Amino acid sequence: VTVPDASHGQRVLKGLRLQAEPVTDTILEIGQRLFQVNRGALSLHSRYFEAMFFGGTRESSEHHIVIRGVDAETFQVLLEFTRTAKVLITLHNVTRLLETADFLQFERVKRMCEKFLERELHVSNCLSLMAYAQCFACPELHASALSVALTHWTELLQNDDLFVPREDVIFDTVMKWIMQDPASREDAFLDLVGQVRVTFLSLSFLDTLVKRSRCPGEKDTSARLLKKLDSCPPLSWRNVELSHCTSRSYETLYVLGGKHDKEEQELFQFQPKSGTWHLCSPLQRRNLIQYAVAAVGAGLYLYVLGGSTDEGIIPDVERLALMDSQWQNMSPMVQPVERAGAVSVGTRLYVVCGLDEKGDVYGGVQRLDMEKDIWDVISFSPLPR
């Protein structure tokens, strides 16, 4: 699709006049190609180049400028846009073009790409495009994708290809949607919960649901819905033959920490099912020099335990809520350790052995009750290591 930019008006005319004048005044080296450009014409369309050429930077006085991290073919498309006010957008180039336009701040081209993707929205890609829109600050695309997702809510919940770290997330999502407007949505509760694959809900999550269902009174909407589910579960929960036999959850790998003395201790998430990496919320600022930690996933949380700082070995415990990427401080361990083993079982988390403040091997097995946030030492290993 060739999209003309009808809103350019005087900017286009001025740009064309600039291009018609003494031709070019700068060479941009992008990839293996050299582009002869006019500074004024580029700056009309890009705040990136406006700042580079006229913002008092080093490049403002250079004739030959190297730009890294930009695809030459995609830049050629953007350069043509500054001359013709038209851009060729296809399914093959739209994401590359949007990302380059975002980086170089060609706002009009970015918006055109956003509109193109809005026209390509359907139930099979609405969630991935929601995430993409968040990544590149495309609010209108995000709103349109969300609208498609909500319109096809039941269909999405039925999908085997829905990527979720735990089936628990599906149940929680249904509850959150209902709780946004209980008066008009409560009648849909059992139908939507029927799409949750009950056999793949975690034991710790089921235990939490049982406790919530026992809350007294009818004023608690969440408790009332859970009591309703308990008294009249959907058919797919009662009949094993109607239950889904395949899980749609997948394991997720987190890599945290890295080099010493960085501005942030980064946290990355790898999704093996899609083969993609994502940058997550970094560890809290006070832990910039923390290392040799123990880390373990427990339900919808990632726990980071102990480790060392420049001041010594610490007992600190933090957890990341994976749903909203928020870090929380938790109760410290009984014994500060580094290089310990950690595992979660149900609603308990265990930290085994490790090195203590003196550098000696600590033989204790520390246990955290994750519901009460209380630590104790339950045993000592016969072979501490």
What is the per-residue pLDDT across 148-201, written as a single tens digit (0 to 9) for each? 998 888 888 888 777 777 788 889 889 988 888 888 888 888 888 888 888 888
* Phi and psi angles of residue 150, each rounded to the nearest 5 degrees, phi first: -70, -35
Question: Residue 203 has which token pair?
Answer: 């034991």
All CATH 2.120.10.80 domain ranges in the chain, comma separated? 253-380
Question: pLDDT tens, 276-334?
Answer: 777 777 766 554 566 778 888 887 788 999 988 878 899 999 988 877 778 889 999 99
CATH topology of domain 2-120: Potassium Channel Kv1.1; Chain A (3.30.710)
pLDDT at 351: 94
Task: Please tell me the CATH code under which domain 159-242 is placed.
Answer: 1.25.40
All CATH 3.30.710.10 domain ranges in the chain, comma separated? 2-120
Which residue do the tokens 């969300």 mark?
Answer: 146
Euclidean distance between the first and the last CA atom of the chain, given in angstroms as a whole number: 64
Q: What is the DSSP letter of 264?
A: S
pLDDT at 287: 46
Beta strands 364-369 and 348-352, pairing class: antiparallel
On whether the CB atoms of residues 121 and 145 are closer than 8 A, the answer is yes
Residue 303: beta bridge partners? 296, 319
pLDDT at 118: 96
Q: Is 122 helix (H, G, I), strand (E, B) or coil?
A: coil
* Phi and psi angles of residue 87, each rounded to the nearest 5 degrees, phi first: -140, 135
- The overall average pLDDT reported for the chain is 84
Q: How confident is the model at residue 3 (pLDDT cuts 50, 70, 90)?
A: low
The reported pTM is 0.61
Distance between CA 375 and CA 362 in Å, rounded? 16
Question: Residue 53 has which token pair?
Answer: 């050429």
* Phi and psi angles of residue 184, each rounded to the nearest 5 degrees, phi first: -100, -15
All CATH 1.25.40 domain ranges in the chain, comma separated? 159-242
Q: How confident is the model at residue 217 (pLDDT cuts 50, 70, 90)?
A: low
Question: Residue 306 has which token pair?
Answer: 């102990």
Residue 267: how many CB atoms within 10 A of its CB?
22
When mean pLDDT is compared over 82-86, 108-112, 213-217, the highest value belongs to 108-112
Q: Which of 248, 307, 299 is nearest to 283 (CA)?
A: 307
CATH superfamily of 253-380: Kelch-type beta propeller (2.120.10.80)
Q: Which of 77, 112, 96 is nearest to 6 (CA)?
A: 112
